[in-house]
Amino acid sequence: MIRTLFALFLVISVGFKLPAQESLTTSTEAKKYIKEAVEFLTNVKKKELADPAFTLVNVPKYTCFLYTVDDSLSFNNEELAQIANEIEFPKVTSWRTILPSNIRFLEENFVKANSKSIKNRQREIKFFKKKFGGCYHNFSAPIFLRNYSFCLFYMDKICAGGESKGELQVFEKHDGVWKQLTSRCEWTE
């Protein structure tokens, strides 16, 4: 009887993951993602992140990714599903939690409240210079594919006076260094 119960316990414990083990796996994967994301950003956006006037909207933005979700020439079905999933359930919901504190963060509600166009162009320029040093930026959370060797990343720079621009950038990692391959959905204003 005791042997039977012990055997049953062994079968059950080997066959199922305990909740604590599952969260440990998720935690390990999350830590790896955060490490890779910070390394990626400090590599490809080193100049921007070092600028004391650099202002980043705290919540990642995913403009232009919808054009990628149906790109079956560049991505296989599994990668397309991963891209769609990471847009819907971002791995980063606040830049403030993973980027250095020397960066000026702009809360999304401030951007929305002040995004109504200012009728006077000179007032707009003055407002942007006072609040953001002239411009503010949006970044998406990096979407890594192919075992962290390929990355999709959206960035834009919103400036007063019609000098805004943005693009979805495609990077590949070679010998530990990220190189931009191409960009998609480029826009200027």
User: Can you give the pLDDT at residue 189?
Assistant: 81
Give the pLDDT score at 8.
Answer: 30
Nearest CA to 184 out of 167, 172, 171 is that of: 167
Residue of 155, 162, 159 whose CA lies nearest to 184: 155
pLDDT score at 107: 85
Contacts of 125 (CB under 8 A, 6+ apart): 160, 161
Predicted confidence pLDDT, tens digits, the chain (189 residues): 433 333 333 333 333 333 333 333 468 888 999 999 999 999 999 999 998 888 999 999 888 777 666 676 788 889 988 998 998 999 999 999 999 888 889 887 776 666 555 556 677 777 777 777 778 899 999 999 999 999 999 999 988 777 789 999 999 999 999 999 988 888 888
Would the pTM count as exceeding 0.85?
A: no
Instruction: Calculate the dihedral angle through the C-alpha atoms of 177, 37, 103, 114, rounding to the nearest 10 degrees.
Output: 120
- Cα three-residue angle 133-134-138, rounded to 5 degrees: 95
Q: Are 173 and 180 in contact (CB under 8 A)?
A: no
pLDDT for 115 equals 58
The answer to whether the Cα torsion of 30, 141, 77, 66 is positive or negative is: positive
**DSSP string spanning 116-167?**
SPPSSHHHHHHHHHHHHTTEEEEEPPPEEETTTTEEEEEEEEEETTS--EEE
Q: Which pLDDT belongs to residue 65?
A: 76
Separation in Å, CA 173 to CA 34, 38, 91, 152: 17, 14, 20, 12
CA–CA distance from 168 to each of 77, 154, 181 (Å)?
20, 4, 11
Distance CA(185)–CA(187), nearest Å, equals: 6
Q: What is the pLDDT of residue 128?
A: 75
d(CA 47, CA 89): 29
Q: What does the pLDDT read at residue 179?
A: 96
Question: Token pair for residue 69?
Answer: 């979700």
The domain ranges of the chain are 19-188
Question: Taking Cα atoms as reference points, which of 188, 189, 167 lies closest to residue 44?
Answer: 167
Q: Give per-residue pLDDT as tens, 82-129.
A: 998 998 999 999 999 999 888 889 887 776 666 555 556 677 777 777
